[in-house]
Amino acid sequence: MKNIFTSILLLLVVTTAFSQKKDYNIIAYGAKADKNHLNTIAIQKAIDAANNAGGGRVIIPDGNYVTGPIIIKSNVELHLTDNAVLLGSTNRMDFNDKLMALISAGGQQNISMTGSGTINGQGRELVENVLELLSKGIITDPQWKVKRPGEKNRPTLISFSNCDDVKVTGVTLKDASGWVQSYNKCKNVLIDSILVQSTAYWNNDGIDITDCKNVKIINSTFNAADDAVCLKSDDPNDECNNIVVENCILRSSASGFKLGTGSTGGFKHIRVNNIKVYNTYRSAIALESVDGAVLEDIDIRNVTATNTGNAIFIRLGHRNTDNRYSTLRRVYIANVKAEIPAGKPDIGYPMEGPPPKVAPHNVVPASITGLPGHPVEDVVLENIELNYAGGADKNIAFISTDNLGQVTENAAGYPEFTMFGELPAWGFYVRHAAGITIKNMKVTVSTKDFRPALVFDDVNGLKLDKITIPTVNQSPAIIMNKVLQPLLKDVNMPGGFKVLIIKQ
C-alpha cells in the first residue's frame, strides 16, 4: 500500500511539473530597462524560446522597455508586472509593411497578454517622426498633405488575425498612433479588465473586432479618440457572431458602441449589457449596415449615456457599389437613459470631433432610418428615457413637417448621426422601417424647440405603448406620415397637444 501511495505522489509531482508554465524573463535574453536601448530582438528571443519549449510565460519586469514590432506565438503568455512599461519605438523605420503593429500574431493558438503593466505606443512622438520622414522624402504617403498620414504609416498596438483562444487581461493600452487593438477572424477571445487610454491621434479605435466568433469584452474602460468599441465585417462570406460586451465604460470623440461602419458580411447574436458612455461626440449606440451586411439578433440593455451627441443611431444604407442591399432586423434595446447636450460633448479632449462651424446642426434626435424599399425591420425599444437640451434654431437648419421629403436619403453617405444635416424632430425620428415597437419611452426637452417630439415617416407597423412627452413646445407633438397599421396606447402629453396622422 505504501508503494502505491508513493507512486501516486510521484505521478502528481511529475504531472504538476509538466503542467506549470516556465517563466522566460526578457532580461535573461539581453533586454535593458533603458529608453535608449531597443529590445526587439531580446523580447522576440524570449517569445521564441517559450514557444519552442511548448509554451511558457514571457515576463516583462518592472521598468521601461523600448521595442519595435514583436510577434506572439502559440502557447505563449506575455506578462507585464505591475510597474512594467513596454514602450513602442518612436522611429517609423523600426516598423515595416509586414509588421505594422507593435504586437502581432497570425494563425496562433492559446496566446495571452496578462498582468497590470502598460503598453504605450508613444503615438504622438511616432507621428512626429512619420511627418519628419515624409517631409524629407524618406517615406511616402499619398494622404498626408491632404488629410494626415495614412494607416500604413501609423502602427497599431495589437493586431491578431486568425487566432484561436486569445486572452488579454488586466493590462493598460496607451497612445497608439493608429488603431489601438484589432482582432481579425479570431475565435474564442476574452478581453477582461483592461484600460485603454488612447487619444494620441486620429483613427484611434479603442478595440476593433472584425469577423470574429465567440468574443467577450468585459469589465473594461475605453477612452479613445475614435470609436470606443467597434465591431466590423470586411469579408462578404464571414461575420461577427456571438459577441458579448458587458460592464464597460466608454468615452470617445466618435461613437461609444458601434456595429460598422465596415459592414460587408454580417453581425449576428451580439449582446451588450451594462455600459456607461460619457463625453462622447457621436452616438452612444450606433448600429450601421451600409455595405451589404446582414445585421440581426442584437440585444442591448442597461445603457447610461451622459453628455453624448446622440443616444441611438440605427442606419441601413447602401454605400457599396454592387447590387447587394444590407439587412438590418431583430434589434432589442432596453433600459437606456441618455442626456444630450447642446454643445460639443468632447470639447477639450486632444482629438475632438468636427467643430460646430464645420458641421453646424441643431441637437440631433435618436433615429432609425432605412431606405425606400429596404426598411429597418423588427426593432423593439423598451424603457427608454432621453433628455435633450433642445433650443433648435431655424436659422441653423429647418425642415418643414409639411414636406418631410426634404430630408435627404444620403443612401451612400458615411453613416453618422449628422448625415442628414437636419431632422424634423427633436426626440426620435423613424423613416423607412417596418415592425417598430416603442414601449415605455419618455422624452424631455430643456429649452423650447420648434420641432415636434417624434416623427415617423414610411413605417409599416408601428406600436407606441406608454409614451410620455411632458415638455411639448410644438403641436402636433407626434407626426405620422405614411404609417401603416399604427397602434397607440397610453400616449401622455400636456392638454391641447395632439398626434397628426397624415395618410398618403
On whether the CB atoms of residues 183 and 72 are closer than 8 A, the answer is no
Q: Is 107 helix (H, G, I), strand (E, B) or coil?
A: coil
pLDDT of residue 361: 85
Query: Kind and range of the H or E element at 45?
Result: helix 40-52
Helix (H, G, I), strand (E, B) or coil at 401: coil
pLDDT of residue 499: 80
335, 308 Cβ separation under 8 angstroms: no
Which residues pair with residue 329 across a beta bridge? 296, 377
Query: Do the Cβ atoms of 244 and 217 come closer than 8 Å?
Result: yes
Cα–Cα dist 108/239, whole Å: 20
- Between 330 and 3, the more confident residue is 330
Cell of 369: 432610418
Position 392, amino acid: A
Distance CA 26, CA 456 (A): 62
Would the pLDDT of 401 be above 80? Answer: yes
The full 3-state SS of 465-496, as one line of letters, equals EEEECCCCCCCCCEEEEEEEEEEEEEEECCCC
Tell which residue, 44, 28, 40, 46, has the closest CA to residue 89: 40
Radius of gyration of the chain (CA): 26
Q: 3-state DSSP call for residue 129?
A: helix
- pLDDT tens-digit series, residues 444-490: 999 999 999 999 999 999 999 999 999 877 778 999 999 999 999 99
Q: Which tens digit of pLDDT belongs to each residue from 32-42?
A: 999 999 999 99
N-terminal to C-terminal alpha carbon distance within the chain: 92
**Residue 30 pLDDT exceeds 90:** yes
Mean pLDDT value across the chain: 93
Flag whether pLDDT at 356 surpasses 80: no
Higher-pLDDT residue of 16 and 396 is 396
List pLDDT tens digits, range 414-426. 999 999 989 999 9
pLDDT score for 28:
98
Q: What is the pLDDT of residue 18?
A: 38
**Element (H or E) spanning 248, and its range?**
strand 240-252
Angle in degrees, CA 159, 160, 163, rounded to 5 = 180
Report the SS3 class of residue 335: strand
At 166-214, the pLDDT tens digits run: 999 999 999 999 999 999 999 999 999 999 999 999 899 999 999 999 9
Instruction: Report the C-alpha gap between 441 and 469 in whole angstroms.
Output: 9
In contact, 38 and 64? CB cutoff 8 Å:
no
The whole-number pLDDT of residue 501 equals 76
Q: Higher model confidence: residue 496 or residue 44?
A: 44
- So what's the pLDDT on residue 244? 98
Strands 240-252, 266-289: pairing is parallel
Residue 9 pLDDT > 50, yes or no?
Answer: no
**Per-residue cell: 285:** 449606440
Give the mean pLDDT of 128-156: 93
* pLDDT of 16 over the 70 cut: no
Q: Single out the residue of 234, 336, 343 nearest to residue 292, CA to CA.
A: 234
Q: At residue 433, does pLDDT exceed 60?
A: yes
Chain-centre distance for alpha carbon 486: 34
Tell me what pLDDT residue 474 has.
74
Please give the single-letter amino acid code of residue 368.
I
**Distance of alpha carbon 444 from alpha carbon 470, whole angstroms:** 6
What cell numbers appear for 179 in the block? 488603431
The pLDDT, as a whole number, for residue 493 is: 84
Return the percentage of the chain with pLDDT > 70, whole number: 95
pLDDT tens profile 107-118: 999 999 999 999
Here the cell at position 357 is: 462651424
Dump pLDDT digits (tens) for 77-116.
999 999 999 999 999 999 998 899 999 999 999 999 999 9
